[in-house]
Amino acid sequence: MVVLRTSCFLLGRTHIRVMSINYTSFSNTSHFPLSSSLTIHELLHKCLSSRVGAFGITAFAVICVLLVLPLCIFVLYLGYQRVRQQHSSSTISHSDLFTYSMVSIELMNICGAILCCWGAHADISVLVMLGVYFFSITFSAQLLFHILTCVERYLAVVHPVLYLRNKNSIRLRTVIIVFSWLLSFVGTGVTSMAKHTVITIVSFCVVGFAVIVISYCSISVLCVLIHPVPGEGVGDRQQVDQSKLRAFHTIGAILGVLVLRFVGNISTNILYDSEQLIEDQRCGLWLSEFWFCLLSSLVLPLLFLHRTEKLPFCHQSVMSNRD
């Protein structure tokens, strides 16, 4: 009986030791595995447990709080003022509503960065996982509202009759925004179950599709801008051309940001599986994808401030045009 108890005790200690060794090997900062065998949550938790990962997510969270958060608050404040002055939600343009939705998404992105930073430093995996969910929603919703903004500008320039017919349709804009949010949450559920390699392939396809759609919108608006509609007066043509030019600048800015994001994602994922990289370099390279998405967070709020002439250089350009 004593021998049996001793054997059970030794086996129990051996099992506990093996479990501790396995956990230590998973959380060891000197080993960051390849992405093919892990989900996005496991990969991010593994990366943030290292010193490079904790420093990277901290820097990203600080930049979001100091740069993106004040910009989002200012846009929401201006939107609240405009709603109070207009006293009607039907007079708000589709692009402004897409911008307000985008700002709400960026607030979730900031919350995700703070939660991941907090969870990395406090070693709380639940906070890291919650932050990853916010990041997943942001990734999907950013692309959707970028596409919607460019398609809205495309319809306003290329198909003005159809655009004016549905310009003040509250039901249409509500359905579009709600469907975009639901699609973003569905995409978040998929990313929580799929492996990182599958998510990488899907993200390439989604971002590539967005680049193709926005490129088509940009080329179409540029063609209409180059070839004006016959029968327009000189004064009317100048006013219409300015509107078309602003639409082209909006689509071009969004297209440039998404192309940079697409090229950055391809470059980081190609270099990620390189055998010459050490584990910390692989983790830092993977976290660099967050920085390529930072410009996507800034483009719509900055375009909104430019359109409302709230940026300093906008006043100078307006005064020069009046002179």
Task: State the Cα–Cα distance between residues 149 and 250, nearest whole angstrom.
Answer: 9
Residues in the chain: 323
H-helix segments, 166-233? 170-193, 196-226
The predicted model scores a pTM of 0.77
DSSP-assigned letter for residue 311: S
Q: At what angle do helices 40-48 and 125-158 cross, to 10 degrees?
A: 120
Poorest-pLDDT segment among 119-123, 128-132, 188-192, 318-322: 318-322
Nearest-CA neighbor of 110 among 140, 66, 141? 66
Q: Looking at residues 235-241, what average pLDDT do you find?
A: 55
Query: Is residue 218 pLDDT above 50, yes or no?
Result: yes
Distance of CA 283 to the CA centre of its chain: 20
Please answer whether residues 287 and 53 qualify as being in contact, where contact means their C-beta atoms are separated by less than 8 angstroms. yes
Highest mean pLDDT among 58-62, 301-305, 306-310: 58-62
Domain 37-309 sits in CATH 3.60.21.10: no
The residue extents of the domains of the chain are 37-309
DSSP-assigned letter for residue 67: I
Task: State the Cα–Cα distance between residues 106 and 137, nearest whole angstrom.
Answer: 10
Query: Is residue 121 pLDDT above 60, yes or no?
Result: yes
Instruction: Provide the pLDDT for residue 223.
Output: 87
Average pLDDT, the chain: 75
Task: State the Cα–Cα distance between residues 297 and 310, nearest whole angstrom.
Answer: 18
Q: Looking at residues 114-143, what average pLDDT do you find?
A: 85
98 Cβ partners below 8 Å, 6+ apart? 145, 148, 149, 152, 177, 300
7-38 tens-digit pLDDT: 443 344 443 333 333 333 333 434 444 455 56
Instruction: Provide the pLDDT for residue 2.
Output: 38
Task: State the Cα–Cα distance between residues 298 and 260, nearest whole angstrom.
Answer: 14
73-107 tens-digit pLDDT: 999 888 888 777 766 555 667 777 888 888 988 99
Query: Is residue 203 pLDDT above 80, yes or no?
Result: no
What confidence category does residue 322 fall into, taking pLDDT thresholds of 50, 70 and 90?
Answer: very low
Nearest-CA neighbor of 92 among 108, 105, 80? 80
Instruction: Provide the pLDDT for residue 240.
Output: 56
Please answer whether residues 68 and 110 qualify as being in contact, where contact means their C-beta atoms are separated by less than 8 angstroms. yes
Instruction: Provide the pLDDT for residue 317.
Output: 45
More confident call, 235 vs 269: 269
What confidence category does residue 167 fall into, taking pLDDT thresholds of 50, 70 and 90?
Answer: confident
Query: Is residue 3 pLDDT above 80, yes or no?
Result: no
191 Cβ partners below 8 Å, 6+ apart? 40, 136, 199
